């Protein structure tokens, strides 16, 4: 299992995982978090993130995407996982354009 998303599998199936986080630091990058989180989620969905979610509402394997999105706030901390390097590259390109 990866520590943040509880993706199950054997060591080989998880070896190529790329885990991403969007956390804020008070006084440094703590404004507009809700909008930024929504952009990260949209980008993750576009490139096919294997799993993503908010720390408080849980990942998409245990909560619906709609529930997670509806409960994103300015205190949300989101994270996800990709299984291919190409997904990471595309995700970063999208985020760089939007944020």
Give the H/E segment covering residue 58: strand 58-59
Q: Is residue 62 part of a domain?
A: yes
User: Is the torsion defined by CA of 13, 91, 2, 35 positive or negative?
Assistant: negative
Q: Which two tokens stand for residue 74?
A: 């300015």
17-59: per-residue pLDDT in tens? Answer: 898 999 999 999 889 999 999 999 999 999 999 899 999 999 9
Q: Print the domain residue range for 60.
A: 23-98
**Do the domain assignments include residue 30?**
yes
pLDDT tier at 1, thresholds 50, 70, 90:
very low
Domain count, the chain: 1
Q: Is residue 54 part of a domain?
A: yes
Backbone angles phi, psi at 80, to 5 degrees: -160, -175
* Residue 17 in domain: no
- Buried b / exposed e over 50-63, threshold 16 CB at 10 Å, is bbbbbeebbbbeee
């Amino acid at each position: 299992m990866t520590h943040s998303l509880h993706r199950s599998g054997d060591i080989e199936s998880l070896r190529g995982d790329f885990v991403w986080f969007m956390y804020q630091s008070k006084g440094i990058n703590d404004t507009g978090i809700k909008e930024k989180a929504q952009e990260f989620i949209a980008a993750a969905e576009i490139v096919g993130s294997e799993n993503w979610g908010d720390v408080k509402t849980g990942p998409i394997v245990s909560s619906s995407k709609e529930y997670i999105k509806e409960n994103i706030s300015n205190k949300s901390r989101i994270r996800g996982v990709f299984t291919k390097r190409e997904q990471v590259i595309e995700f970063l390109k999208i985020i760089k354009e939007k944020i």
